Amino acid sequence: MDWDARYSAGDTPWEKGAPAPPLLEWLAQCAAADLPAGHILVPGCGLGHDVRALVAIQPAARVVGLDLSAEALRQARAFPKTGNEAYLLGDFLALPEPLHGRYDWVFEHTCFCAIDPARRADYATAACAALRPGGRLLAIFYLNPWDANEPLPPGGGPPFGVSVDELDALFARDFQLIEAHRPTRAYPGREGRELLRVLQKKS
């Protein structure tokens, strides 16, 4: 997909103009000591709404939005600066070496569901590489609409749904599951279709 062309044309149905509702819900319910802090990476950040939401709740955090689209990042930088946010052009699945082991948290919402399902193992590897030992992946996954244990039918995305079993298999080697629940808030059309997980990188 030509992401720059889509952003330039405004052909971005995934762009909702606001942070992900499940993220805002989780941040509001999270104890202060458990909030994402330190260095935070947001892959597939688009226009940076989630980046700015994380900075707003944790002003001391250094939050970096990463995206393949230079046009998306141009638009993200046009928003008033919230705090210690920054934006980088790059491919999360080919994570640049200087970003390895740099982050305390990775936040995921719409990057995983946008990539070819055949590259999901690359995603899990990149998330592990980005995090320091003990770092955490806060992820909101888009579940299959058919059955949690059935593969996605051909031509079913993006967004591409995922099963709970596949998530378990993808992340079990390098991560320990800390928290999992179904958010009560979502963008229209995603109600009941998302799963929030917090996974900790194994030391």
Nearest to 20 by CA among 198, 201, 196, 202: 196
| Gap between the Cα atoms of 148 and 140, Å rounded | 15
The residue ranges of the chain whose pLDDT is under 70 are 145-156
pLDDT computed for residue 148 by the predictor = 44
pLDDT computed for residue 141 by the predictor = 96
pLDDT computed for residue 151 by the predictor = 54
| Gap between the Cα atoms of 83 and 184, Å rounded | 28
* Fold category of 42-201 in CATH: Rossmann fold (3.40.50)
pLDDT computed for residue 130 by the predictor = 98
Task: Show me where the domains of the chain are located.
Answer: 42-201
pLDDT computed for residue 154 by the predictor = 53
pLDDT computed for residue 145 by the predictor = 65
